[in-house]
């Protein structure tokens, strides 16, 4: 039997989160500390205090570290509720990049690294950044990594330049991807390092002006010059950064989808209220077919997005890596939710282009979502490549457990 009803305890938790965000966090959307570069650290600290007082801080963390140990499906319900305000995930400490970085550190950090870099993040005491993207280098294709780490047997000296590093300004836990140069002392290749944000050799050149403003302290250009780290700062194993990045990608794609589903639903609700109350040509806007069709298309897109999220999360909860399915979900959900926001602006008319409602901010932020964690076109390329290599599950009879089944015949190499 296929059952789409989530467990009662998860539904109750999602309702509690929605109420918390609506009552305690939405009022902060007019706070001047929500700047063109996103919330300031001071605003974040106040929001985190609200979530901590409500018992809703970092609830996605494993139970051994004080969280609720939410499954992927559990996160889908709760993060959608948190996304009702773009400040909701910031308050609850489940926003990007911290949520994904906590997941990664929880999987591969040594015990001493977790104590220093991860646990203070879970407690909401510090933020993090993931320094991978480079101008002219690593981005959607991390294999183009140019930042280099030279190892002399005792110290890794890192040099290079990164940009679009979200939350770099003020971040205290830094995860850095660099290519260890061939050396006589050990392995080489793309490697992750973890260090404190005030380590000499990390230079924040400037913050970048961007169309989104939902990430704490925005995005920065960073230069590494004479950054000297010991082998104790290697995160995981040398040469395994690309594998670790893949480990982080599928869950991070889905949590992006969850949060933005909540934001798009908020915009949709505002557009519906406007269509009920605003009149034109003798009747409410919503009674005009052109407007009602846009609202109907929004409703369809939101339902499809939620179902894609839930099924992919369910698969990952069953043990599937979900790489192919999360690419499908990320590509389709990001496009559908942006269309929802665009229609909401259209329904609102001129007021939709102003900050009289949060719809214009959601619209701008959702445009970036089509690029975060891989542009739609990169995901479609990966999906197509997978189909050519392995065929499609739709050519095979349904599996008894609902998991994707191998195709009837594999394409020739």
CATH number of the domain at 174, please: 2.40.110.10
In which domain, by residue range, is 368 found?
Answer: 242-395
Residue 402, pLDDT score: 65
Please report, in tens digits, the pLDDT of each residue of the chain (413 residues total): 578 888 999 999 999 999 999 999 999 999 999 999 999 999 999 999 999 999 999 999 999 999 999 999 999 999 999 999 999 999 999 999 999 999 999 999 999 999 999 999 999 999 999 999 999 877 778 779 999 999 999 999 999 999 999 999 999 999 999 999 999 999 999 999 999 999 999 999 999 999 999 999 999 999 999 999 999 999 999 999 999 988 888 999 999 999 999 999 999 999 999 999 999 999 999 999 999 999 999 999 999 999 999 999 999 999 999 999 999 999 999 999 999 999 999 999 999 999 999 999 999 999 999 998 899 999 999 999 999 999 998 888 777 666 666 554 443 33
For residues 259 and 227, state if they share a domain: no
Last-in-domain residue among 182, 210, 239: 239
For residues 354 and 257, state if they share a domain: yes
Last-in-domain residue among 218, 239, 260: 239
For residues 160 and 184, state if they share a domain: yes
In a domain, 112, yes or no: no
For residues 138 and 207, state if they share a domain: yes
Please report, for the chain, how many H helices and E strands are present, in that order: 12, 12
For residues 15 and 144, state if they share a domain: no
Last-in-domain residue among 239, 269, 294: 239
Residue 406, pLDDT score: 56
- Quote the CA–CA distance of 16 and 31 in Å, as a whole number: 23
For residues 356 and 326, state if they share a domain: yes
In a domain, 113, yes or no: no
To the nearest 10 degrees (0 to 180), the angle between helices 241-277 and 289-317 is: 150
For residues 246 and 234, state if they share a domain: no
pLDDT in tens, 223-256: 999 999 999 999 999 999 999 988 888 999 999 9
Domain count of the chain?
A: 3
Kindly write down the DSSP assignment for every residue of 340-369, as one continuous string: HHHHHHHHHGGGGGSTTSSHHHHHHHHHHH
For residues 356 and 343, state if they share a domain: yes
Residue 410, pLDDT score: 45
pLDDT in tens, 68-120: 999 999 999 999 999 999 999 999 999 999 999 999 999 999 999 999 999 99
Q: Report the sign of the C-alpha dihedral through residues 372, 377, 383, 389, in that order.
A: negative
The beta strands (E) that lie in 230-288 are given as: 234-235, 279-280, 283-284
For residues 133 and 185, state if they share a domain: yes
For residues 273 and 334, state if they share a domain: yes
For residues 193 and 249, state if they share a domain: no
CATH of the domain at 37: 1.10.540.10
Residue 397, pLDDT score: 78
For residues 355 and 249, state if they share a domain: yes
In a domain, 122, yes or no: no
In a domain, 403, yes or no: no
In a domain, 104, yes or no: no
In a domain, 109, yes or no: no
**Environment class of 290 (CB within 10 Å of its CB; exposed 0-12, middle 13-18, buried 19+):** exposed
In a domain, 114, yes or no: no
8 Å CB contact between 177 and 129: no
- Quote the CA–CA distance of 168 and 166 in Å, as a whole number: 6
- Quote the CA–CA distance of 209 and 148 in Å, as a whole number: 27
What length is written for the chain? 413
Residue 228, pLDDT score: 98
8 Å CB contact between 110 and 75: no
39 - beta bridge partners? 34
CATH of the domain at 381: 1.20.140.10
Residue 409, pLDDT score: 42
In a domain, 330, yes or no: yes
């Amino acid at each position: 039997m296929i059952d789409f009803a989530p467990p009662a305890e998860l539904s109750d938790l999602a309702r509690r989160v929605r109420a918390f965000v609506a009552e305690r966090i939405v009022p902060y959307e007019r706070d001047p500390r929500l700047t063109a570069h996103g919330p300031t650290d001071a605003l974040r600290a106040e929001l985190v205090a609200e979530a901590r007082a409500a018992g809703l801080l970092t609830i996605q963390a494993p139970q051994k570290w004080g969280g609720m140990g939410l499954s992927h499906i559990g996160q889908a319900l709760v993060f959608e509720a948190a996304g009702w305000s773009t400040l909701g995930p910031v308050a609850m400490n489940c926003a990007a990049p911290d949520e994904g970085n906590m997941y990664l550190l929880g999987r591969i950090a040594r015990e001493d690294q977790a104590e220093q870099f991860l646990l203070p993040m879970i407690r909401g005491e510090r933020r993090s950044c993931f320094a991978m993207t480079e101008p002219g280098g690593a981005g959607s294709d991390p294999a183009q990594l140019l930042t280099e780490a030279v190892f002399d047997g005792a110290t890794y000296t890192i040099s290079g330049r990164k940009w679009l590093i979200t939350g770099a300004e003020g971040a205290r836990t830094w995860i850095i991807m660099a290519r260890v140069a061939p050396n006589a002392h050990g392995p080489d290749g793309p490697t992750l390092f973890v260090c404190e944000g005030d380590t000499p050799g990390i230079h924040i050149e400037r913050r970048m002006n961007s169309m989104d403003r939902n990430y704490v302290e925005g995005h920065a250009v960073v230069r590494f010059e004479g950054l000297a780290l010991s082998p104790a700062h290697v995160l995981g194993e040398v040469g395994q950064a690309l594998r670790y990045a893949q480990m982080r990608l599928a869950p991070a794609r889905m949590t992006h989808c969850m949060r933005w589903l909540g934001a798009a639903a908020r915009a949709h609700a505002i557009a519906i209220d406007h269509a009920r109350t605003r009149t034109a040509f003798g009747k409410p806007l919503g009674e005009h077919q052109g407007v009602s069709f846009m609202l109907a298309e929004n409703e369809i897109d939101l339902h499809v997005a939620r179902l894609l999220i839930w099924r992919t999360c369910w698969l990952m909860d069953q043990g599937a890596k979900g790489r192919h399915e999360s690419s499908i979900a990320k590509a389709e959900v990001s496009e559908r939710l942006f269309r929802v926001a665009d229609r909401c602006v259209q329904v609102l008319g001129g007021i939709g282009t102003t900050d009289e409602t949060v719809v214009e901010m959601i619209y701008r932020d959702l445009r970036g979502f089509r690029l975060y964690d891989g542009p739609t076109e990169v995901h479609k390329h990966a999906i197509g490549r997978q189909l050519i290599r392995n065929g499609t599950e739709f050519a095979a009879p349904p599996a008894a457990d609902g998991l994707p089944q191998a195709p009837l015949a594999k394409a020739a190499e």
